[in-house]
Structure formats: C-alpha cells, structure tokens
Structure 1
C-alpha cells in the first residue's frame, strides 16, 4: 500500500505538489491522472526517494522507500524508460540491476520473456525503439517480483498489442493482491485498466475514488436526431432543457430524461430518428474536471483567413 500525507514539493518559488493525501490500495489498479505539470511525475519520484518532500510523508507498506532493506524486491518502478546505458545489451542491463540484490540470472530470463524481449535481449539498448525501451523498463521494474509496482506512462510508444499486454498484465498483478499505481494520458485505456483513479490539478488532488463512481457522478445526457432539429431544440429549451449541437447533426440534451424528450417531440408532431441516453466517458469527466487546471495550453490552429 502506498500512503501519502500532506505531501508537498517546492522548487524555489514553484510549488509542484501542494499537500497531497492519498492511499493506493493493494489488489487494485489505481490510475494517476492529470495534465502536464500537474505534479504526477514529481509525486512518483517522491514515492521512490528520487525527490525529497518539502513537507509531509510518503510510505510504501508503512516504510519510506529509503528504509526498504531490498527496494527492488518491494517496489518496482518505471519512471524513465531510457534510464539504461545505451552501450549495454538489454540482458546485461537487467543483469547489472539484478546483481545489486542478488537476483539470479534465471529471473532475468523470466522478465525478458514476460516483457516480450527475447528476440532483442542481445542487442544494445541504444538502438531500441521507444516501445522496446518501454518494455525494457517494465522488465526492470519486475525484476524483484515486487509487491508494489509504480509505472509512469507505461504504454507510451507501445503498439496496440503492447498496450493490451500492459493492461492484461497489470490487472493480473492486482488480482494477485499487489499494489499497482500507473499514470497515463490515454483515457480510453485507463477506463479499461484502472479500478480507482487519483486526479491531480496544479499539484492538488481533485478526485480520488473508483472509476465507476467518478463517471456515475457526472450523470448522463440524451442524444437525439430529427429532421426538424431546429424546431426540436427550441421546444426542448422552452421546457427547461439545455441543448447543444452534437456529432453528425445530432443534439445533446441535458436536463430532461429521454422519455420526456420523446413525449415532447410526439406532442409537437416532430419525428425522431434517434433517441439515446449516453453516460459520460472517463475522458469527458476528466476534461471537465481539469479544464481550469491545465498549465500548458496549445495555441489554436491557424484558420484559413490567418494564412
């Protein structure tokens, strides 16, 4: 279990993490979400002792990382996939790490097989693609067969088969009772992988709860399509609904149930070609929740008139 209490990290005048309290439980996959600059990587670095907190505490199974007698056997971490000597082969990189904890070569071969690296184990890391570097980082995190796994953007650069492998693998680890804490910007993948989520914005916790609870709390909307969409929108708005244009000419309706939309349309003789209740996605909830906490924004794409 990972526990943080009042966790703060400042770099000069900048506060990267501003008083985080969190608990990452064993037996579940916990997703760590937030915009760039929200403090996710800094928090993960503090968990494994790479950054010292300005204030507060963070422990893994009741101990600070620096107090773990055999860290690789307790906590496996992937924070930087390229953290390997470019001149070493993948196998030798893993063997060097294993030697620090007396881990046998047989385990090195096991994690090579688990991560799908057997075909490139004898090749130098400097020639690896981003995806292969990610697989090597995951293999290194697994070396000590740890009870806790911390993965920062583990699917970055992986092909669809690799993404599915990570999803299946981490869920299997959680099913064994291990603690799995991972970050990702791929909301659709996180929705399939995580049991719980912690959402950060500007170094503060915006939400910490099961994924299903977070999505359910956002409510649902009605999607409707009609050849008389303008008339229908006016009718629904007069009856208290909020109506906005949706995809492919549909209307997104909030404030009225689908049955009420159908009854109003029927009473006005307006034909409907579609009437559906749609729940919010994790991406929609996340975007809404963090809209005011995005530190780095892209400028709008230039229009034709700007060319």
Structure 2
C-alpha cells in the first residue's frame, strides 16, 4: 500500500505538489494521470525519497521509503529508464543492483527472461533503443520481487507487443495482491489496464475514483442510432436540448433523448431501426473534461 498525507512540494516560488492525499490499495492497478507539469513525477519521486516534501509525508507498506532495510524487496521503481551506467551491459547493471541487497544472480537471470531482454543482456545499455531501455528499467524494478510497483510511463517507446506485455504484466501483478501505481499519457491503454484512477492538475488531486465511476461522472450518456432513414429520424427527435451528430449517411450519435424514446418515435413513423445502442464517453473524454482548466502548456489549434 502507498499513502500520501498532505503532501506538498515547493521549488522556490513554484508549488509543484499542493496538499495531496491519497491511498493506493493493493490488489488493483491504480492509474496516475495528469497533464504535463501536474506534479505526478514529483509525487512519485517523493514517495521513494528522491525529493524531500516541503510538508506532509508518504509511506510504502506502512513505513517511509528510507526506513525500509531492503527497499528493493519492498518497492520496484521505474522513474527514468535512462538512469543506468551506459558503459555497463544490461546483465552487469542488474547484477550490481542485486549485489546491494544480496539478491542472487539467478534472480537477475529470471528478470532478464521475464522482460524479454535475453538477446541483448550482454550489450552495453548505452546502445539500447528506447523500448529496450524501458524493458531493462522494468527488469530492475522486479529484481527484489517487491510487493509494490511504481512505474512512470513504462510503455513509452515500446512496440505493440511490448505495450500488451506491460498491460498483462501489471494486471497479473495486481491479481497477486501487489500494489501497482502506473503513470501514462496513453488514455486508451490506461482504460484497458487501470481499475482505479488518481488525477492531478496543477499539483492538486482532481479525482480519486474507480475508472468506471470517473467516466460516468465526467462524460455524457448518449445513443447510437443506425437507420436507412436517418435524416428523417433526426428531424423527428430534434429539439432544443438534443444534440445530434451524423457520423455516416445512416448513423446518428444522439445526446439528450433516451433510447426508448427514440425507438418509440421511430415506430410511430414507421422508420426502420437497424441499431439502437446506448453509449458512454471514454476515459480520454472524462480526462479532458476534468483537466481542461488545469493544463499548463496549451498547443495552438490547427485550422
């Protein structure tokens, strides 16, 4: 379990993390989301003692990270895949880390096999691609077989097979009762992976909820309708509080009218219906609605 209580971090006159409190429970994957500059990385660094809080505290498995006698066996961390001696081979890097905790070389071989870097384990880490560097970083996080995993953008640079492997791996880890805190900017991937979501914006907690509850709370329910007389049906259901988007000559996305009412109107007019499906928004829709006022860096709209 990971806890943060009133966590605050200031850098000169900038407050990067502002009175943040949350609990990351074991047995599920918790997604850690937020725009660039929201304070996610700073928060994760404070959890593992790399930054000192200005106020508040964090604990991992009941104790502050620095008080664990063998932290690699408590917490596996991937914050920066490039944090490796570039002149060492992957195997040498992992063996050096393992030696600090008395972890046998057999475990090094195990994590090399788990992460699929066996073919490059004898090569210098400085020559690794971004994806191979990520796999090496995950291998390092797994060395101590920890109960808690903190992974910052672990799928960055991975190919589709690697992305799927990370998804399956973290879900399996959670199924074993481990605590998993996972940061990513890939909303579609997070939607398939996370059970619970914590969202930061400008250093504050904007949401702390199960993924499904978050999506329902921050998106609009609608109905997808398919009919060979879609234009006629659109005219029948139009109204001041109704939003209709024509996505194809035969398909409408409707907000503001329940599916049953659409079906009744179609039946009254003899309009055939080939599809009438309730729809919900996506995690990306919910995230954008939630963080719209908290984005620090805005891109220019493309005409």
The reply to whether TM is greater than 0.5 is yes
For residues 212 and 275 of structure 1, the distance between their equivalents in structure 2, rounded to whole angstroms, comes to 22
| 1:298 counterpart residue number | 299
Runs of 4+ in 1 over 3 A off after TM superposition: 216-219, 225-235, 246-251, 265-274
| 2:89 counterpart residue number | 89
Structure 1 unaligned residues grouped into runs of 5+:
none
| Alignment of 1:131 onto 2:131 | yes
Aligned pairs for 1:249-288 within 5 A: 250-268=251-269, 272=273, 274-288=275-289
| 1:113 counterpart residue number | 113
**CA displacement at 1:35 relative to structure 2:** 1.2
TM-score computed with the length of structure 1 as normaliser: 0.92
**Is the contact between residue 17 and residue 43 of structure 1 (CA under 8 Å) also seen in structure 2?**
yes
Aligned pairs for 1:114-263 within 5 A: 114-217=114-217, 218=219, 220-225=221-226, 232-238=233-239, 241-248=241-248, 250-263=251-264
**CA displacement at 1:225 relative to structure 2:** 4.3
Using a 3 Å threshold, how does the CA distance of structure 1 residues 223 and 64 change in structure 2: closer, same or farther?
same
SS at 1:46 equivalent: helix
**CA displacement at 1:81 relative to structure 2:** 0.7
**CA displacement at 1:64 relative to structure 2:** 1.0
TM-score computed with the length of structure 2 as normaliser: 0.93
Which segment is superposed worse, 200-209 or 151-160? Answer: 200-209
For residues 201 and 233 of structure 1, the distance between their equivalents in structure 2, rounded to whole angstroms, comes to 39
**CA displacement at 1:91 relative to structure 2:** 0.4
**Is the contact between residue 222 and residue 278 of structure 2 (CA under 8 Å) also seen in structure 1?**
yes
Per-residue deviation, residues 239-269 of structure 1 (Å, max 9, x unmatched): x542142533543322221111222244355
Structure 2 unaligned residues grouped into runs of 5+:
none
Give me the CA root mean square deviation. Answer: 1.8
Using a 3 Å threshold, how does the CA distance of structure 1 residues 74 and 242 change in structure 2: closer, same or farther?
same
For residues 298 and 274 of structure 2, the distance between their equivalents in structure 1, rounded to whole angstroms, comes to 38
